[in-house]
Amino acid sequence: MSTASRLPGIVTTDHVFHLPLDHRSPEGEQIEVYAREVVASGREGDDLPWLLFLQGGPGGKSNRPVGRDGWLVRALDDYRVLLLDQRGTGRSTPATRQTLARRGGPEQQADYLAHFRADSIVRDAELIRRRLLGDTGRWSLLGQSFGGFCTLSYLSIAPEGVREAFVTGGLPGLRSSAEDVYRAAYPRVARKNAGHYARYPDDVTAVQRIAAHLLEQPAELPGGGLLTVQAFQGLGMLLGTGSGSHVLHYLLEEAWVEGVAGPELSDTFLAGVQAQLSFAQGPLYAVLHESIYGQRSVDPAGTEWAAERVRKEFPEFDAEAAVREGRAVLLTGEMIYPALFDSDPALRSLRETARLLAERTDWPDLYSPERLATNQVPVVAAVYHDDMYVDTADSLATADAVRNVRVWVTNEWEHDGLRVSGGVVLDRLIRMARGEI
């Protein structure tokens, strides 16, 4: 049964779909997939085209509107929006340390999670489309970050269900291995560090001091996690967003207090760090992150903890050496390392599961370069100049390789431009799709 709610400027309707865990076995185990329909107040009965939003991630639930806010300000002028909680997230059947434990050991958990990548998400969406729009109905796609990866998978698997596609910060390298991705990522992250330290030069010393302290004595976080130097470096994830550099600086400002035995890391700082680094609300991001690049024709040996292996090629990210040599400690980006499964309580019981996924060698290909080369669906993409999370060169190469793609390259926004621009980014893409610009 669908449930409707009224919020300022919008009407939302809940939808729950029972879908196959494994789309190759449609009569087998079923999971729930939740989606929230959003329409502008007063237009509930209008025959509006549908826009499916594919969230970034992996492992991120869709946004929770509190009214006509964010990019919905623009989208609801023209569309009935469906906010999908991709399988395993939000109100869909959850996949966390608590629920996965019910499936058995790491082997059973890894086999289960092998069905949680973009190809399965696309096939979920296709069944949902048929139930809401009918077999011949088509909808528009809006893919943010990983949602853009899903969009390219959608155009590879079932383009007949799509009338147009908007992508923001999410044109993937069609033939990029996990190693390729991280080999390109570390220099981008280093540039974001340089930009932050140029903006806040005192933070060089602030980060060195914290790193030196953690090398001698890792700190316990309020939720029971362990703040090691490597975990601390993960705060560099902030540097790829529009306001992240400032958030990081203000967090560092309150790092120390004077305790009984002298200076110690403050509760305020440790709580702030935990809020940024904990995977409790999105464990699939860590567990599945490298698998989103796995394609057996590209990565025949599996992803094998690519971020950890490639990091050795970039010694400037060695925090211990940086402290010893008195140089700036570089923070990392969205890299996932095996040690995080020891330091984060939300991940500890999933360490062996993550290892098995990293060693998996039978990942189906996610994209069809041949089919995309003859794509008939109009695609308009925002590519952010020097995007920290998705390689700009890969995105532009993909735009060249996929037929019917128009690209807007901008340095006005960072990777979170869709979320923070108040509809400006989406408005430009819609106008581009209509040929207005």
- Indicate which residue of 115, 196, 289, 415 is catalytic: 415
Burial of 296 (0-12, 13-18, 19+ CB in 10 A): middle
25 in active site:
no
Closest alpha carbon to 417 in 394, 391, 388, 396: 388
Residues with Cβ within 8 Å of 120's Cβ and at least 6 positions away in sequence, in order, are: 23, 87
Catalytic annotation, pick one of 92, 120, 140, 145:
145
What are the DSSP calls for 43-72, one per residue?
Answer: -TTS-PPEEEEE-STTT-PPP--SSS-TTH
Angle, CA 238 vertex, CA 235 and CA 240 arms, to 5°: 130
Which residue among 46, 47, 135, 362 is the active-site one? 362
User: Is 145 part of the annotated catalytic residue set?
Assistant: yes
The C-alpha atoms of residue 212 and residue 7 are separated, in whole angstroms, by 49
Q: Catalytic annotation on 177?
A: no
Separation of alpha carbons 381 and 430, rounded Å: 10
Q: CA 391, CA 169: separation in Å to the nearest integer? A: 9
Alpha carbon distance 141, 355 (integer Å): 33
Q: What residue type is 396 in one-letter code?
A: L
Q: Active-site residue numbers?
A: 145, 362, 415
